[in-house]
Amino acid sequence: MNRVTPRGVFAAALTPLKQDGSLDLDQVGPYLSFLAQRGCHGALLFGTTGEGPSFSPAERVMLGRAALEVRQKHPDFMLLMGTGTPSLAETIELTRAAFDLGMDGVVVLPPYFNRKVSDEGLFHWFSRVIEAAVPGDGFLLGYHIPQMTGVHLSLVLLDRLKSAYAGRFAGLKNSWTEQSFVEALGERFGPDLVVMTGYDNFFQLSLNKHASGCITASATLISPLLRKVWDLFTAGQDPTEAQAEVNRIRAVMDSYAPAPALVKGLLARWHGFPRWAVCPPLVSTADDALDQAAEQLQGPF
């Protein structure tokens, strides 16, 4: 099967919102084109940075349809959609819809309301999603972010899913901030599992451990720098200096969490996009905090 899995620098994309909270669909295509022009190989819609759990299935489909506009100018730009919810039925519905739209793949959170679940339970949950909604030429990445979901995707579980659904279960977006897990993934799977790091500080380390790339919140603002790490690494050169600058920037950004509000404010300030709203319970970054963050970050990049 002609299945292409993600490689390189991906943005955990923002979700453009008007001030009344409705989707700003007219801005989706220009925003994704902006990412492509600055070196991103693709984008994840409705991840954590995209405030995914705050949106209905209908809203995700509407924005996904608008996102396809990017392929008119950037046909190789890969589009992934976050489709995981605590509801198995809704996750299947969203995953089917994503592939029907023409998304290249999906990134699926575990059922995060249930925190004390076994590998056996998670295997059956992901199996139901894959069997019901992932076509033979599609792929699913698990979304590993236990600091948010409270659910850990173990190496044993990943191995079992990979063996049972070769190709369709391609790997994971790993946003856990534990270095030992990055190293364990590399040692267990090598290059045979697609791993996209979601934590900028581990980009170089993850690449050294056979990861396929990154999907990060910061890519909207610093994709040229992340692309430098990627390009140097793939050329067999040392990206340590570029990675150190990524780490500096990430430390500043983390001090102004949550990321969606900060990145939306800085994108408007530095690149002329509208000042998009965020979904409650998030609130927009205050102007004085945005001034301070911009000064500390020393952008635009």
CATH number, domain 8-235: 3.20.20.70
Q: How much is the average pLDDT of 159-181?
A: 96
Q: SS3 helix, strand, coil % of the chain, rounded to 5?
A: 50, 15, 35
- The pTM (predicted TM-score) of the whole model is 0.95
Q: Which two tokens stand for residue 133?
A: 């909604």
Task: Write down the pLDDT at residue 230.
Answer: 98
pLDDT digits (tens, 9 = 90+) for 14-29: 999 999 999 999 999 9
**What end-to-end distance do the CA atoms of the chain give, in Å?**
39
Q: Where are the domains of the chain?
A: 8-235
At 269, the amino acid letter reads: R
Task: Write down the pLDDT at residue 1.
Answer: 42
Residue 295 belongs to what H/E stretch?
A: helix 287-297
pLDDT digits (tens, 9 = 90+) for 132-154: 999 999 999 999 999 989 999 99
